[in-house]
Chains A and B, each alone.
Chain A
Amino acid sequence: MRILVCVKRVPAPGARINVTADGMAVDSAHLGFTTSPHEECAVEEAVRLVGEHGGEVTVMTLGPAAAEEQLRYAASVGAHRFVLVPIQEVDWDPQRTAAALAGAIGDVESADGAFDLILFGNESADAGGFQVGVRVAYALGRPVVNGIKGVDIADGVASARREVDGGFEVYNLPMPAVLGVKEGINLPRYPTMKGRLASKKAEVVVDERSVEVGGQARVRLHRPVETVSETVILGTGPEAAPAVVDLLEELGLLT
């Protein structure tokens, strides 16, 4: 089977997110870059499925030239083919992104046939637009479900599990299909040293797309106001236990 995973290069999370002086971008001076976490899991899931059912994994990204790094990372954990849709800007709005990806996917599919499965991350770690996968699926005319935390393939059907309070919903999508996966679907492997070295040789196809901008335009980014308050020290060591339990009682948690 052939699986496509669409990934996004994002600043590595973990630090306070600062904004450039013009407010138009995240200040990445101190930040590394990574594959958006849900999508890292999507790559892992694709590699796992192909390991189980045979086939190959293609990874596509829309981003700056440096996003090649994320494609190579995917190569280092087992993906096979790579497409970069280069952009000059920091980011594209969701409509524009989806249109460009749908076009680029069309290019690949017209040459090699339809992908059995296309995986997206549920949402990107940075912009968090919650829509690109759905838009692409609609453009391609394929069924799509988001929030997926488990996939099984059998008889041309992708059986996808979505976490809800207390359990899972199960969706059975005939392939070709599209899924938006969520972190937790698997624990993505780390690249091995050999994988990393091999990834340097991976060939990246560049597919430049020209697409109109969508209706959502960034005006500026800014940080929310953080509230700072003094910590109340309940005590030191085990002697503090009664004060802790008083607090729990106060919050009505001891009933």
Chain B
Amino acid sequence: MSDFPTRANVVVIGAGIVGNCLVGHLARLGWTDMVLLDKGPLPNPGGSTGHASNFIFPVDHNKEMALLGEQSANQYRDANLSVDCGGIEVARTQDRMLELDRRMTSARAWGIEASLLTPAEVKDLVPFINEEVILGGFYCPTVSVVDSLETGTTMRREAVETAGCQVFANTEVLDVETIEGEGGVTTVSSVVTDKGTIATEHVVIACGVWSNRIANMAGATIPLVPAVHQMADVGPMDILAETNNEIGYPIVRDMDTFCYERQSAGSMEVGSYGHRAILHHPDEIPSNQDAALSPTELPFTDDDFDPQMETAIELMDMLGEAEIRYAINGLLSLTPDTMPCLGETTEVRNLWSAAAVWVKEGPGMAQVVAEWMTYGYPRVIDVHGADIARFYDEERTEEHIWSRADEHFIKTYGIVHPAEQWEGRRNLQVGPYFSRQEDLGAEFFQARTWERPQWYGCNADLVERYGLSEREVEWDNRWWSPITVGEHLNLRENCGVVDLSSFQIYELEGPGAVEYADRLAVNKVDVPVGRSIYTPWLTPDGGFHSDLTMMRLGEDRVRIVTGVFDGGRDEFWTRRHMPTDGSVTFTNITKQLTTLGLWGPRAPAVLSQLTDQDLGQEGSPYGSIIDAEVAGLPCQLFRISYVGDTGWEVYARWEDGPKLWDALMEAGADLGIRPTGGGVYGSSGRLEKGYRLMGAELESEYNPLEAGLARPRVKAADFIGREAYLAARAVGDPEVLMCTLTVEDQTDAQGRKRHMMGGNEPILTMDGGRITDSHGRVSRVTSAGYGPSVDRHLLMSYLPLELCTPGTDLQVMYMNELFPVKVAGSGAVFDPDDTRLKA
């Protein structure tokens, strides 16, 4: 036994698939002085990796999960510890058949071979299936089975051999200590174990179901909950044994019963996501010594599994006679929003999370975290959806984690609409107008924790006024209303009020505030007081980290306004890079200010009734923010528009919100003012103007040139990502450009009008080919929606420069059908000269 180290550069806690791959990737990136710890023995320390079913279905609608799954599958293949056995998702319902069409679409987007099978074709591949209970199948030949334990062992050994990584199994972490680092920042300092204490620069928590408990030791949170996935190994069966193979038949996912059947040598593993959500506290998980099988293989609860047995026998009669040889309540990690927890914890500097990762994404996500630690940002792919900084405090509570896990467990194999709303844990954050909006029949959509009206029932009259109708196909119409089109047309004709209370608002103050703000932003913050900028924030590699507005409110004061989906990440980024000399202070004033958007040709006429302020281009020019009294309330008028019509974002004190709302409504009563929902603000209004949205069009894989957001000149001041940005500019034309496309014919094979949703539908050439660039980035729909004022369904997508010419004919795949589209260009399709903004 070697001596236990007293110091290290990095301590990785957890030797499952993630921790093992992480030390391997860190070694490849040049890290040394690494220590890998686990409280269990090796090679199977007893975490979720040890009981994983180890198969990868590569098709996922979510881009991060699909690409990291593919990345991981390839790493397993490179290690020669993977077999492509193929897999079939079978459908028992018509709804599922439609979902399989959607699967086909996503398969095409990511370039994964796939086909739809008839029941008879399914039976050709899986002769023991009862084809009479299924309607069809989605077959993917590259579904693979991997050896996660051996892959982890290989990666760990690589780190040991090439970088001298020290490995200590049977070593329990008792505490993770922090110190007050530079500028008073809580910083990780050491890991206390039952074998000794290691002083260290970095700590990574890769402890799966135990992660939050370890994070809590340092005062950080990793919002996940251990949850049961039941699995029974039944057999032996001759037809399986005769394959003389670990796996000789494709894996079958019986999606409508939330169940899978995966051959394991002579027997079949029947796994279920169909039982009740069975959640555990980390402290309830037994130690290795106290567990009969392993800490994450809990005693099987038969009653929960019985219904699955019946449906499994229905699908494969031979399972009825098979013996239940081994059955477990296996633990895995669930998060409030189903996505992993990657990146530096927001509470403790240099304390990293690599948690809530399944075997199917393990190696890829380990690479992400290793790159993040090395380069300050992941390179392999944008992971804003998995960034642990995305969570607000309310999302880190046990109540929230449990409620959401309870609600989404059954959706593991479910059919989840892109706009699907949560049922539980609603109204966590509401704006000051909430009760008024409820009275007006608002349909609320939740944006992380914030409730935002998507449309208002009180505007139903507009449907008739503008002659609108519901969408023909239920899927397209779900979570949508023609009222939103009415609100759009009314705003263009008269004006609308949009509740923007969910804006996340921060202020930087102090002698270093402007200089620091300039360090974050591509565009120049050091503008005259009262002026604002709209600007990207870049990653060190020159991709988008954020895209937001910044306002110069004083000599030493800058306001930052960002969207609710990115608030957590932007606040963390801002705090993370702050100078530690005390020259800048950061304040989150989200709950102090409320914002109402007032836009439309009649917006000036409404506002002028409530203020003496000169509202013309002289007194309130575009991009300016001025103090003004509105309806007797101290407000700020920010002349800006995200919908394409003139108007203001009116900032008021939170408590004054209701008065401001009432005053605007009253003043606009005769001018056609309507409360207007997020369907206009976030979708139809912005799409007509080609405005890009962070997290959709804008991701770290793309730079401002490609997004069409580059300015003619680059400011002199240094900023994060400047070098990479300059390098990209030096190349000249970008390889791809963000464009808007119009759908030329929305009619499907059944003669119905369809509506693409911006769910990564692939843009294809006229001969059906996928469009990718030299980095492998695929042209796919990043946002989509109807543009009422141009009467076209609009799509946004990056396209190679040669395809960006307006008028270029292409196709989009939606629900496994092709529709013709035409490139409109990279700018706005509505009012391209912004005449309405300047009105």
Query: Interface of A with B (CB < 8 Å)?
Result: 12-16, 18, 29-33, 69, 189-194, 196-197, 200, 230
Contacts and interface: CB of A to CB of B under 8 A. Distances in A.
A12 B291 CA distance: 10
Closest A-B pairs by Cβ, 4 of them: A32-B299, A14-B292, A30-B286, A190-B323
B299 A193 contact: no
A193 B292 contact: no
Interface string B295-324: 000111010001001101100000111111
23 contacts: A12-B292, A15-B290, A15-B292, A16-B289, A29-B284, A29-B286, A30-B290, A30-B291, A30-B299, A32-B298, A32-B300, A190-B323, A190-B324, A191-B324, A192-B322, A192-B323, A193-B313, A193-B321, A193-B324, A194-B320, A196-B306, A197-B306, A197-B313
A189 B323 contact: yes
Given A30-B286, A192-B322, 9 more contacts: A14-B291, A15-B289, A18-B290, A32-B298, A32-B300, A191-B323, A192-B234, A193-B234, A193-B319
A88 to B, nearest CB: 23
A40 to B, nearest CB: 14
A200 B325 CA distance: 19
A192 B290 contact: no
Nearest to B289: A16
Nearest to B305: A196
Contacts of B320: 192-194
A206 B1 CA distance: 58
B321 A192 contact: yes
Contacts of A15: 286, 289-292
A200 B306 CA distance: 9
A139 B449 CA distance: 70
A14 B293 contact: yes
Contacts of A14: 291-293
Contacts of B325: 190
B321 A194 contact: yes
A125 B299 CA distance: 18
Contacts of B321: 192-194
Contacts of A196: 302, 306, 309, 324
Interface in B629-676: none
Contacts of B310: 197
* Interface size range on B against A: 20 to 34
A130 to B, nearest CB: 24
B306 to A, nearest CB: 7
A191 B290 CA distance: 26
Contacts of A69: 302
Query: Max chain B CB contacts within 10 Å: which of A12, A16, A69, A230?
Result: A16
B313 A13 contact: no
Contacts of B286: 15, 29-30
Contacts of B234: 192-193
Contacts of A194: 313, 320-321
Contacts of A190: 323-325
Interface string B702-741: 0000000000000000000000000000000000000000
Query: Max chain A CB contacts within 10 Å: which of B293, B312, B323?
Result: B323
A230 B306 CA distance: 47
B292 A13 contact: yes
Contact of B292 (A32, A189, A197, A230): A32
A223 to B, nearest CB: 11
Nearest to A69: B302
Query: Max chain B CB contacts within 10 Å: which of A31, A69, A196?
Result: A196
Nearest to A27: B290
A185 B663 CA distance: 88
A213 B313 CA distance: 48
B161 to A, nearest CB: 15
B285 to A, nearest CB: 8
A31 B292 contact: yes
A197 B290 CA distance: 30
Nearest to A32: B299
B290 A193 contact: no
A126 B284 CA distance: 23
A192 B323 CA distance: 4
B661 to A, nearest CB: 54
Nearest to A14: B292
Nearest to B295: A30
A191 B323 CA distance: 5
Contacts of B323: 189-192
A14 B289 CA distance: 9
Nearest to B302: A196
Contacts of B291: 14-15, 30
Given A12-B299, A29-B284, A32-B299, A193 B322 contact: yes
Contacts of B312: 193
Contacts of B322: 192-193
A189 B321 CA distance: 12
Interface string B507-521: 000000000000000
A202 to B, nearest CB: 13
A70 B18 CA distance: 39
A196 B310 CA distance: 10
Query: Max chain B CB contacts within 10 Å: which of A13, A15, A18, A29?
Result: A15
A192 B298 CA distance: 21
Contacts of A192: 234, 320-324
Nearest to B325: A190
Interface string B317-344: 0011111110000000000000000000
Contacts of A29: 284, 286
A150 B325 CA distance: 24
Contact of B309 (A31, A197, A230): A197
A232 to B, nearest CB: 11
Contacts of A189: 323
Contact of A31 (B299, B300, B306, B324): B299
A189 B300 CA distance: 18
Nearest to A200: B306
A200 B663 CA distance: 67
Nearest to A11: B292
A15 B295 CA distance: 10
Contacts of B313: 193-194, 197
Contacts of A31: 292, 299
Contacts of B298: 30, 32
Contacts of A32: 292, 298-300
B330 to A, nearest CB: 13
A230 B290 CA distance: 22
A200 B307 CA distance: 12
B758 to A, nearest CB: 43
Interface in B257-296: 284, 286, 289-293
A15 B298 CA distance: 11
A33 B299 CA distance: 8
A191 B306 CA distance: 13
B290 to A, nearest CB: 5
Query: Max chain B CB contacts within 10 Å: which of A29, A30, A194?
Result: A30
Contacts of B319: 193
B723 to A, nearest CB: 49
A200 B310 CA distance: 12
Query: Max chain A CB contacts within 10 Å: which of B286, B292, B293, B322?
Result: B292
Query: Max chain A CB contacts within 10 Å: which of B284, B299, B309, B312?
Result: B299
Nearest to B232: A193
A193 B293 contact: no
Contacts of A191: 323-324
A118 to B, nearest CB: 27
Contacts of B309: 193, 196-197
Nearest to A18: B290
A12 B1 CA distance: 34
A197 B293 CA distance: 25
A143 B322 CA distance: 38
B311 to A, nearest CB: 11
A18 B291 CA distance: 11
A47 to B, nearest CB: 14
Contacts of A33: 299
A30 B286 CA distance: 6
